[in-house]
Amino acid sequence: MATTKYQSVYKQPATNGHKAYFYYSLYLGRDPLTGKKIIKKSRLDSRGNRFKTARDAHLEVERLQEEYRNGKTIMTKDVTVGKFINDVFKPTYKTNVEESTWMSRQPIFKSIIKWFGNMHLSKLQPSDCLKFRNWLLDDGTGYSQSFASIVYGLFRQILDTAVELDYLSQNPSRQKKITGAISKGHHIINYWTLEEFKQVVSKCYLGDIEGALAYTMLNLYYFTGMRVSEALALWWSDIDLDKGYIKVDHTLTNTKDPSKKRKNYTKTVSGMRTIDIPQDLVKLLKWWKKVQYDNLPQKGDDHYVLSATDQPMHRSSVNNIVNRYADLAAVHRIQAKELRASHASLLINKYNVDILAVSQRLGHAKPTTTLKYYAEMWRGRNREVADQLNGAMSNMSHPDHSLVNFSGNQYVKM
């Protein structure tokens, strides 16, 4: 090795029949994640060509130094998957999602780190990604396909971030078709018909707070189609009982800080809407408001509608109530969020409401979104269509002899 007049540029003399060549060995500081020295060394320029002169190598050194000064750090290659997730990905991810999402993703991060252990990020191969993918889908793991889809999707997002930050040149989970994303599987919607809903709510005892709240809550979800978090965030000031409508412009999030639970936005922009409600529901809400004010401790001027303690109800409590009364009525269980699907089914199959009105009521951006999630609801009207087709071919007459001059060589006996 011989030095040149350019700093960080060297010349390797010809040896053992190999030609002499120029190369650079450049120190770029320390990796902020590992604390180790970042040294870039090569005999090739950015286009993959060998340096013909020391000046060519010097120009490449200047280019690399400029990139580094502009924030494009060239990372070292010995960062583990776990260290990258904990020190780089998670802090950024936390600032980009809701607190409820952040909390729900913690077990997933642990699962990914446990699987890959101390494996170096740069050594990940498509085969490693495939093994993880297959494990997620294995029956012995116990994961549903939809959950496996979420886990593997987050894993691929982590590797995408590693590529963007120059820790990886390419994402190994995207190199081969076989390592592609996991489908969420078939979307099966469970819902209650009006008759089933009546059986369930008929088991609510209205003589105590628990039964009255359960009856009010179930009716509110079933006849408005609100998302679980939207109804939980309702204050009485959001409901106009004189004009019969509800303003939906808040959502309740899963957070440990009570002051941050009620957010002044909904899941989507289109979710900010006004829902007209039937007079039966208006009367029920007026009755429940009186029960609530007569029996519950009240603080301030406004209160949560669905509350027995003047504190917001947890979404798990909604599921518990749905399951409790479904079992009492011997009706199949549904998830709390499927009360929204039940409302959609009621509008579509019971009252023949058009798709645009259903879409607006549910707070979807466009009717195609409603069709995407609830298209199978329209199947309940197949019988109605079939009945309407009856008699379409009536009042026909046929000739008393064949009108076709048949000249074929086959004989068909009638």
Element (H, E) at 26: strand 21-30
Residue 370 located in a structural domain: no
Amino acid residing at 3: T
- pLDDT band, very low/low/confident/very high, at 26 (cuts 50, 70, 90): confident
Q: Which domain holds residue 45?
A: 2-69
At which of 326, 350, 374 does a domain end? 350
Residue 152 sits in the same domain as residue 254: no
- Please answer whether residues 240 and 289 qualify as being in contact, where contact means their C-beta atoms are separated by less than 8 angstroms: no
Whether 50 and 158 map to the same domain: the answer is: no
Q: The whole model's pTM is what?
A: 0.67
pLDDT of 71 higher than 60 = no
Does residue 362 sit within a domain?
A: no
Do 209 and 128 lie in a common domain?
A: no
pLDDT range class, residue 412, cuts 50, 70, 90: low
- Give the domain-ending residue among 151, 179, 207: 179
Q: In which band, very low, low, confident or very high, does the pLDDT at 32 lie, cut at 50, 70 and 90?
A: low
Residue given tokens 């002899």 in the structure block = 401
* DSSP for 56-94, written as a single string: HHHHHHHHHHHHHHTT-----S--BHHHHIIIIIHHHHH
Residue 70's pLDDT is 65
Which segment of 122-131, 139-148, 182-191, 383-392 scores lowest on mean pLDDT?
A: 383-392
167 is a domain residue? yes
pLDDT above 70 covers a percentage of the chain that reads 88
Burial 15-31 (b: 16+ CB within 10 A, else e): eeeeeebbbbebebeeb
Residues 51 and 162 in one domain: no
CA 383 to chain centre: 35
Q: In the predicted model, is pLDDT for residue 256 greater than 80?
A: no
Burial 233-246 (b: 16+ CB within 10 A, else e): bbbeebbeeeeeeb
Number of domains in the chain: 3
Exposed / middle / buried, residue 279 (Cβ in 10 Å: 0-12, 13-18, 19+): exposed
Higher model confidence: residue 291 or residue 69?
Answer: 291
- Is the pLDDT at 76 greater than 60? The verdict is no
Q: How many CA atoms lie within 13 A of 131 on its CB side?
A: 8
Confirm whether 384 is domain-assigned. Answer: no
Residue 75 belongs to a domain: no
Least confident range from 92-106, 128-142, 191-205: namely 92-106
Residue 315, domain member (yes or no): yes
| Strand partners for 80 | 120
Q: What is the mean pLDDT of residues 202-212?
A: 95
Per-residue HEC secondary structure of 240-269 comes to ECCCCEEEECCEECCCCCHHHCEECCCCCH
- Residue 167 confidence (pLDDT): 82
Average pLDDT (241-259) is: 84
Share of the chain above pLDDT 90, in %: 45
Amino acid at 296: L
Query: Taking a C-beta distance cutoff of 8 angstroms, is the pair 361, 275 a contact?
Result: yes
For 110-143, how does the pLDDT look when each residue is reduced to its tens digit (9 = 90+)? 999 999 988 999 889 999 999 999 999 999 999 9
Query: What's the CA gap between 8 and 57, in Å, rounded?
Result: 9
Residue 187 has pLDDT above 80, yes or no: no
Q: What are phi and psi for residue 114, nearest 5 degrees?
A: -65, -40
- Say which residue the tokens 């409302």 belong to: 343
Residue 126 falls within a domain, yes or no? yes
Domain match, 56 and 164 both: no
- pLDDT value of position 118: 87
CA–CA dist 222, 347 (Å, integer): 11
